[in-house]
């Protein structure tokens, strides 16, 4: 995903890549299996409705990324 936003110095200096991947379902994976099998340097967001085996788990991935549930409507999505 590419977004245009202000740089830290407050100027509009161009495009930045947001390090995230959004998937609808990761079926058949438990949190332990996801942590062992998935490798990613970016965060992977999944829909917990279509991935019940993951049970809204947050998993650290090899490579520095995380496996995270997509927040439901009405929640605040905070980027760090």
Q: How many domains does the chain contain in total?
A: 1
Has residue 9 been placed in a domain? Answer: no
What tens-digit pLDDT sequence spans the chain (80 residues)? 444 444 555 555 544 446 788 899 988 889 999 999 999 888 999 999 999 999 999 999 998 899 999 877 655 555 55
Has residue 42 been placed in a domain? Answer: yes
Q: What are the angstrom distances between the C-alpha of 15 and each of 1, 3, 8, 23, 57? A: 10, 6, 13, 23, 31
Alpha-carbon distance 8 to 20, whole Å? 20
Range of the domain at 72: 19-80
Alpha-carbon distance 10 to 40, whole Å? 30
Has residue 14 been placed in a domain? Answer: no
Has residue 6 been placed in a domain? Answer: no
Q: What are the angstrom distances between the C-alpha of 65 and each of 14, 32, 42, 59? A: 24, 15, 4, 9
pTM of the full structure: 0.67
Q: What SS3 class is residue 39?
A: strand
């Amino acid at each position: 995903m590419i977004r245009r936003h202000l740089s830290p110095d407050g100027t509009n200096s161009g495009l930045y890549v947001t390090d995230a991947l959004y998937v609808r379902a990761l079926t058949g994976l438990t949190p332990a299996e996801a942590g062992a099998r998935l490798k990613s340097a970016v965060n992977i967001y999944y829909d917990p409705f279509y991935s019940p085996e993951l049970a809204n788990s947050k998993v650290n991935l090899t490579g520095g990324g995380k496996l995270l549930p997509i927040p439901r409507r009405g929640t605040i999505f905070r980027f760090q």
